Amino acid sequence: MGEKIMKNNKFQPILLGSDINVYGMARSFHEEYGIVSDAYASTALAPTKYSAIVNVHVEPGFDTDPVFINTMRKIGKEKKKDVTYLLIACGDGYVELVGRHKEELSEFFICPYINEELMEKLTNKVSFYSICEQYELPYPDTYIITKDLVEKGDLKIPFSFPVALKAANSIEYLDVDFAGRKKAYVLDSLEEVKDICQKIYQCGYTSEMVCQDFIPGGDENMRVLNAYVDQDSKVRMMCLGHPLLEDPSPASIGNYSAILPDFNQEIYDRIKSFLERIGYVGFANFDMKYDTRDQQYKLFEINIRQGRSSYYVTWNGYNLAKYLVEDRIMNTPFEQTTFAKSQKLWLGAPESVLKKYAKDGADKEQALALIAAKQCGHTLFYSKDMNLRRYILMKYAYYNYKKGFKTYFSEK
């Protein structure tokens, strides 16, 4: 099938970034179509180094304008006329840039993204929770903190501790840097909340902070959902995952290290209805957690892209690239939504890390059984893209995962 598509419908994936998300997408394209992707990034990161399935073009400053749009104009003007270019952003900053310039970029590339206005409403957590309210999607009890409230010392958190704290504007937060900075915080007192907020605002951050009731339990209560929505806002595929472990290092909190496939028709139906009602298009990624107190899965956020660990979808037999190509290149008519149901374990860390740090129980036993049955896969270790330099680098990266868990891991 792949050869037939390539013969009659020439296309070229243009991936934005150079991280594990980029490699996962490049691997998906290579597995399905034997195609080598092009990636553009401001820096070359380890996951895509020494690869034969993705060519990384480094453009310093590419993650900001004007370098981004000037580079994209150059690529667009130099592209081959008989080839369709698919533009796929693999990080939040690149998603925002594509949204900002979508109209112009669409002259040269297929841009499977929503408009900038809807994108801003969904990516800002304050407005996202308002949308959740409107569409009756459960989310944690939330208290919005502003710079003004912090400066006046007027914080009045309406729920008990511990609480979760994170930036409402994840793009702006990328520029925040101070000792002890994390992607998200779990805090035990009002004094801790005040201290962290003060440090963040002193770094020049201006948007809101989101303080939420901490949902009890650890990674075993988390769920992640990836979906693909076609150009007519029909959900073509949904794949639910059950994370067993998260990276505990401060810069990577929230990045999954192990995912079991899961199935929950109620979650599928609720999110499918939401995406189609708002006129969504492209990849979407949701993080949620099960609250045992009221038996509800509560949404934390939506990412306007495939998730960082989304290769678990392809690994389980639902190739991400295939859904995009069939929709945007082949114009294959929508028939019905595929609700993924499979049984393969995805790992983003060494097997020894899962064995040592994942919470004991039936889920861990299932994961260990899948490892024993060789039904376990890693994004970065691809047999068709493995040379000595790449193998050594990936092994070194996994060694660093072990060090990170040893340093930062604690029971939730």
pLDDT digits (tens, 9 = 90+) for 205-223: 999 999 999 999 887 899 9
Task: Please tell me whether residues 158 and 280 are part of one structural domain.
Answer: no
Average pLDDT of span 8-12: 85
For the segment 159-191, what is each residue's pLDDT rounded down to a tens digit?
A: 999 999 999 998 899 899 999 898 889 999 999
Q: Same structural domain for residues 177 and 249?
A: no
Same domain, residue pair 206 and 227: no
Decide which of 167, 198, 213 is a domain's last residue. 213
Give the per-residue pLDDT at 8. 57
289 plus 365 within the same structural domain = yes
- Going across the sheet that includes 37-41, the strands are 54-58, 37-41, 11-16, 84-89
What pLDDT shows up at residue 202?
A: 94
In a domain, 153, yes or no: yes
Count of domains observed in the chain: 3
Q: Does residue 147 sit in the same domain as residue 276?
A: no
Distances (CA, A) of 53 to 300, 388, 397: 34, 15, 19
**What pLDDT does 77 receive?**
94
CATH of the domain at 22: 3.40.50.20
207 and 304 housed in the same domain: no
- Assess whether pLDDT exceeds 90 at residue 127: yes
So what's the pLDDT on residue 171? 86
Between CA 129 and CA 42 the distance in angstroms is: 32
Q: Which of 158, 192, 213 is the last residue of a domain?
A: 213
CATH of the domain at 358: 3.30.470.20
**Which pLDDT band, with edges at 50, 70 and 90, does 412 fall under?**
low
How far apart CA 32 and CA 123 sit, in angstroms, is 31
Let me know: does 118 contact 278? Beta carbons within 8 Å.
Answer: yes
SS3 content of the chain, % helix, strand, coil (to 5): 40, 25, 35
Residue 165 domain-assigned (yes or no):
yes
Does residue 119 fall inside a structural domain?
no
Is residue 399 domain-resident?
Answer: yes
Per the model's pLDDT, the better-predicted residue between 362 and 1 turns out to be: 362
- The model's confidence at residue 203, banded by pLDDT at 50, 70 and 90, is very high
Residue 67, in any domain of the structure: yes
Tell me the sheet residues that pair with 213. 163
Does residue 126 lie in a domain region?
no
pLDDT at 283 > cutoff 80: yes
- Decide which of 187, 213, 239 is a domain's last residue: 213
Asked if residue 340 and residue 240 are part of one domain, the reply reads: yes
Does one domain contain both 269 and 387? yes
The pTM is what? 0.93
pLDDT in tens, 142-153: 999 999 999 998
**Integer Cα distance of 281 and 310 in angstroms:** 17
268 lies in the same domain as 305: yes
Q: How far apart are CA 306 and CA 286, in angstroms?
A: 9
Strands (E), 18-83: 37-41, 54-58
Residue from 377, 370, 319 nearest 348 by CA: 377
Does residue 57 share a domain with residue 100? Answer: yes
CATH number of the domain that 185 lies in? Answer: 3.30.1490.20
Q: Across all residues in the chain, what is the average pLDDT?
A: 94
Q: Which domain holds residue 83?
A: 2-113
| Average pLDDT of the residues in 399-407 | 90
Does the pLDDT at position 228 exceed 50?
yes
Q: Tell me whether residue 121 is in a domain.
A: no
Closest by Cα among 244, 256, 277 to 137: 277
Residue 148 resides in a domain? yes
Per-residue pLDDT at 21 exceeds 80:
yes
**CB neighbourhood size of 177 (10 A):** 8
Same domain, 337 and 383: yes
Does one domain contain both 252 and 146? no
pLDDT band, very low/low/confident/very high, at 4 (cuts 50, 70, 90): very low
